[in-house]
């Protein structure tokens, strides 16, 4: 019944008259939800994805940039008509919860413990749902904040093959919509086309927007970067911009941009609309360097190829045919911070 979840959950209820109640960490158990509860009808639900890691040097548990998740959860909650949650309280509750569930993370008892690649993490899922038991479409007067956790497999061990969507037929997000918010309404509707992609042997959909311009937005539920050589011979990382509200302001996306700008000052990092045809042209003219998807669940997932309108466009994987060199480097930088191999402000120790 409980799938791969751990055995505790953190729960706080809210009502519009009394605000947030007292948080409790309780045994993981089904939630008794009224069949008329808002969340089951009008998708008043939002969530975050985070991971907890055990420090390689100290054995202590760390989480990554939780302040960004706290802020984004509130933004998502606002977009889907749910109450906001205090940012500091969010981080305090994450710490309290992870301290209880840390035994789900491997620990050899000494500082030279080798983590099982990126497999050794605990996936954390803070979430808010609307629970008012009334069918009329209205802002919920009742809600619940929960944190649950799951031992997820590292499900992208091999490079991704992507199917570029057909934006005349299907669109993930649009300007003025809610593609930037981590709300359930962005995910369920993608499964129909994702199933189609999987039936053709692809790992994920590369979501395009605008039938003529075919702008690249996201890959599956992750952000997407392409790296190529520009006409003036610079190395450039390109990813979709946030301003149109069609892509998620990913914590990994932002961290990639910041690390590359800080540690590889010669490389250009550009947030702009770019088309899948520009990728094809870069492959044709041998300017392509690599591409990767990134997100908390995927981490840094190298891309091996993209099907664009029925044509297979191969993307180089220079490191043992498994990754691009930049993706490999950035992944290591992030792992060092996440697993506490280096001290860094982004790594927050829990206990």
CA distance 85 to 126: 11
Nearer to a second copy, 222 or 257 (CB): 222
CA distance 242 to 239: 9
> Rounded to the nearest whole angstrom, what is the least distance from the CB of residue 53 to a second copy in the complex?
18
**21 is an interface residue for a second copy by CB under 8 A:** no
347 beta partners: 64
Among 188, 201, 265, 310, binds a second copy (CB under 8 A): 188
Query: Pattern of binders to a second copy over 78-97, x per CB under 8 A?
Result: xxxx----------------
CA distance 150 to 310: 37
CA distance 49 to 77: 14
**23 is an interface residue for a second copy by CB under 8 A:** no
Nearer to a second copy, 301 or 317 (CB): 301
Among 18, 27, 112, 137, binds a second copy (CB under 8 A): 137
Nearer to a second copy, 133 or 241 (CB): 133
CA distance 190 to 221: 9
> Rounded to the nearest whole angstrom, what is the least distance from the CB of residue 77 to a second copy in the complex?
10
The β-bridge relationship of strands 268-271 and 19-20 is: unpaired
Among 67, 187, 254, 318, binds a second copy (CB under 8 A): 187
Among 16, 24, 36, 106, binds a second copy (CB under 8 A): 36
Neighbours of 117 (CB within 10 A): 9
CA distance 240 to 288: 17
Instruction: With beta carbons less than 8 A apart as the criterion, state whether 216 and 206 touch.
Output: yes
Residue ranges in contact with a second copy by CB under 8 A: 1-5, 9, 28, 30-36, 38-45, 47, 78-81, 123, 125, 127, 129-130, 132-139, 146, 148, 150, 152, 155, 167-171, 174-178, 183-192, 194-195, 220-221, 297
């Amino acid at each position: 019944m409980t799938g791969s979840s751990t055995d505790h959950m953190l729960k706080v209820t809210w009502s519009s008259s009394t605000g947030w109640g007292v948080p409790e960490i309780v045994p993981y158990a089904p939630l008794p939800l009224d069949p008329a509860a808002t969340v089951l009808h009008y998708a008043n639900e939002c969530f975050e994805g985070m991971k907890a890691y055990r420090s390689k040097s100290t054995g202590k548990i760390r989480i990554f940039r939780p302040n960004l998740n706290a802020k984004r959860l509130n933004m998502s909650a606002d977009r889907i008509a749910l109450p906001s949650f205090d940012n500091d309280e969010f981080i305090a509750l994450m710490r309290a919860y992870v301290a209880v569930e840390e035994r789900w993370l491997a620990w050899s008892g000494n500082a030279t413990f080798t983590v099982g690649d990126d497999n050794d993490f605990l996936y954390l899922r803070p979430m808010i749902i609307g629970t008012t038991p009334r069918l009329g479409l209205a802002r919920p007067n009742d809600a619940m904040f929960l944190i649950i956790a799951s031992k997820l497999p590292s499900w992208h061990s091999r490079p991704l093959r992507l199917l570029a969507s057909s934006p005349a037929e299907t669109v993930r997000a649009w300007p003025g919509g809610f593609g930037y918010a981590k709300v359930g309404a962005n995910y369920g509707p993608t499964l129909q086309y994702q199933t189609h992609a999987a039936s053709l042997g692809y790992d994920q959909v590369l979501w395009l927007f605008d039938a003529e311009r075919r702008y690249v937005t996201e890959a599956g539920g992750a952000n997407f970067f392409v790296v190529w050589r520009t006409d003036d011979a610079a190395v450039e990382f390109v990813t979709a911009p946030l301003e149109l509200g069609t892509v998620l302001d990913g914590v990994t996306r932002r961290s990639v941009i910041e690390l590359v700008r800080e540690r590889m000052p010669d490389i250009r990092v550009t947030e702009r609309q770019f088309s899948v045809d520009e990728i094809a042209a870069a492959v044709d003219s041998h300017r392509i360097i690599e591409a990767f998807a990134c997100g908390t669940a995927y981490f840094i997932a190298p891309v091996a190829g993209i099907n664009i309108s029925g044509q297979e466009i191969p993307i180089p994987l220079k490191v043992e045919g498994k990754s691009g060199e930049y993706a490999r480097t950035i992944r290591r930088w992030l792992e060092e911070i996440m697993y506490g191999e280096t001290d860094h402000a982004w790594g927050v120790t829990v206990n």
